[in-house]
Structure 1
């Protein structure tokens, strides 16, 4: 008997080509969360609450836009397929707008400079929606194999981890090497170049990927959103992932503050990022192998607990040796790798099962809702962290010699550690409700 998994296997080049899109998504998902809030509070001198609004509003717009982008890509008719054209169109615009976010020419007014950042970050977020949603929708159409989707996500997450390492570690290093606002401008251009590389590599690398016929479901977008919202397993998985994205957003926003204000070490932000992502580069295949033995849901649960433990240990940052803090963040990275592999492999399972049951495709709507939720979580993270800073009486300013009160240092530490740990643990309430797991591709399950 032929092995269906072997017959459905993708070539290494298709896996690599698809995974290359994570260079773009990883850079845009990481660098604004890491650098934008410090840019607003410490370079432009904008108060923490106002900065939180600037960081959050464009992402909130994405929450509305993502399902629309999914619907549009579902209905796209193009010889290259419904998804690939959007990778190129939106990806090019994303790279340009990202560079402009940090390129304010010095307008002599905090209000005008805040408006500059808001406008171009809004434009970048719009372009990102039309890149990310079609990109995430592709696996459900590239392959119908449960195991192959896990392998595809392993490649994607490995490249994502490498991108986070390169972008997250180099962005603050570039800023510090150049110095001042010019440092942010140069950093923005370099990161835009990284995004562009990912866009072009994904577009070209998926040109030979198989693409199934896409038959969009009938009814309005509202009708399809209602049907997607009525899928209990998808709803549970999405809620879990959004809460964890919120936790990740808090930690990303806190890295620069923890490094500079709590640890007080030059270059500590770069070291923290290496500790965070380094383990993920090594252990992503290990998490995938574990998932193949115990199932994706159990693997996701295990990796979530590791992430929460590492975040909780980081609460010792004000009193423990710096090496202990770095080790705690490395443990976060171990868990984070699994928390990316498993949900991204479980999403296509839910969308593909819906397509088999109904005979129509709502993959774009599923992924639009998914990326809207992820965007909301990652946007709320810096916003929530900024509110924690405000509650701790953090002092914003354009000079680097401000002394923060003890309350601000405590707020930074808790916002980076115990708050994310609590959010991850809360997310597990919904994860245990997810029931598809590795039953999705069995004949018995398909008939139910």
Structure 2
């Protein structure tokens, strides 16, 4: 079946079946980045430096593991003509491990070890689903506009998942008493939601035929991918974007607690970031068709950097109102960062197929998701460094502390200046991508 004929079969129901998987993946990408560092430092009493390692190291495992899954996905596609076998395994395992991660009966170093081990297993299960899932649009349609439309619908579901993760998860923690019991409740409820979304997508995308041509081993696959310079330029920019957003996510509970008046404002912060992005996705899709996807992506990157920098005086001098308004502006830019990067990814996969004669979607999406997860892990890691350097004192929920002025300043800089600098640092990679694809 040709890509053109497959595009004719892209009914709304099939696009929805594909897109709903992003609800589950977004929850897993969001909740640990938003709450796990805070859970370790302020619930389990883990020192900030150790907590940062716990958050970063399991995700960095994915840098190695995701390309392995990508090669395995291509082998599955050669053998069966589908990529959904790995997806289904990950869809079943990930929600269970996610819930267990927030059920540590221990504090301190032993509690950190519990979280680290389960997080590694959860990240591995996530890779089994996410790597083949991200590669499917390249096998759904040949037309870039059609793939952008599919990606736009997926980003809408992604936004719903981010809202569920960032808005519902802190609310469930609060409903459970905000201590350990709250995190157990949150992990259980959110895990059930993830299970429904991921399994539905794994089953609902069985119709997509996959034909990578041949299955490469990991080393050979990476060697073949090295010639795709446009892909790597786009990947670098996307990873830097992920680090910037992840820094803000990790800092959000601390900003809410120590600058905006209370931990309960974490959900409000998150809704202000994500809700506008849901409304902005169709607008960015239209703008991209008129002005070009890369140009719009560049504008959104600069806009996010400016908005993040302006948050520093807004929070320090203006309080919650101006800060929440600026976060909403960032949400509009965030929609473009997600939509347009993911819309450009299949272009690089198919361009490589024209160059080599082989469609290695699993290889490229394995590398892509490895970079994405590394970026989402490095963000909390960088923020934990800011906490450590500024003298942040860990605690448990039943022994609240007032942090020193230096620690509060470190939190504020981590939430504002660091993401702004990172966004600007991604611009050379975007320029390089434009040169390579032309």
Aligned counterparts of 2:413 and 2:405: Cα–Cα separation in 1? 12
**Whole-angstrom CA distance in 1 between matches of 2:36 and 2:211:** 40
Preserved CA contact (<8 Å) 2:6 2:141 = no
Instruction: Give 1:344 deviation, angstroms.
Output: 0.4
Task: Give the structure 2 partner of residue 117 of structure 1.
Answer: 115
Aligned pairs (5 A) from 1:170-249: 170-179=168-177, 180-208=179-207, 210-216=208-214, 218=216, 220-249=217-246
* 1:75-123 deviation per Cα after TM superposition (whole angstroms, max 9, x unaligned): 015887431112211111011111100012x24x522221111111110
Q: Tell me how far apart the structure 1 counterparts of residues 390 and 118 of structure 2 sit (CA, whole Å).
A: 30
Superposed counterparts of 1:427-438, under 5 Å: 427-435=426-434
Structure 1's unaligned 5+ residue stretches are none
Q: How far did 1:147 drift?
A: 0.7
Distance 1:121 1:266, change over 3 A: closer
Corresponding residue of 1:149: 147
Task: Provide the residue aligned with 1:401 in structure 2.
Answer: 400
Q: Which residue of 2 aligns with 1:376?
A: 374
Residue of structure 2 equivalent to 1:163? 161
Query: How far off is 1:183 after superposition?
Result: 0.4
Match of 2:254 among 254, 257, 261: 257
Residues 14, 205 of structure 1: 8 Å contact kept: yes
How far does the alpha carbon of each residue in 1:138-185 deviate from its partner, in whole angstroms, 9 at most, with x for none?
111111111111001101111111111122111111111212101011
Partner of 2:309: 312
**Residues 380 and 7 (structure 1), Cα distance of their counterparts in 2 relative to 1, 3 Å cut:** closer
Separation in 1, partners of 2:334, 2:25:
16
What are the superposed Cα offsets for residues 314-354 of structure 1, whole Å, 9 maximum, x if unpaired? 11212213110001111110100000000101111101111
Structural RMSD (CA):
1.9
Distance, in Å, in 2 between the alignment partners of 1:128 and 1:119 is: 14
Specify whether residues 163 and 126 from structure 1 end up closer, same or farther in structure 2 by C-alpha distance, changes over 3 A only: same
TM-score by length of 2: 0.95
What are the residue-to-residue correspondences of 1:25-424 with 2, within 5 Å?
A: 25-77=25-77, 81-104=81-104, 106-107=105-106, 110-179=108-177, 180-208=179-207, 210-216=208-214, 218=216, 220-265=217-262, 267-316=264-313, 317-398=315-396, 399-424=398-423
Deviation at 1:256, TM superposition (A): 0.4
Secondary structure at 2:129 match in 1 = helix
| In 1, Cα distance between equivalents of 2:413 and 2:79 | 51
TM-score using structure 1 length: 0.93
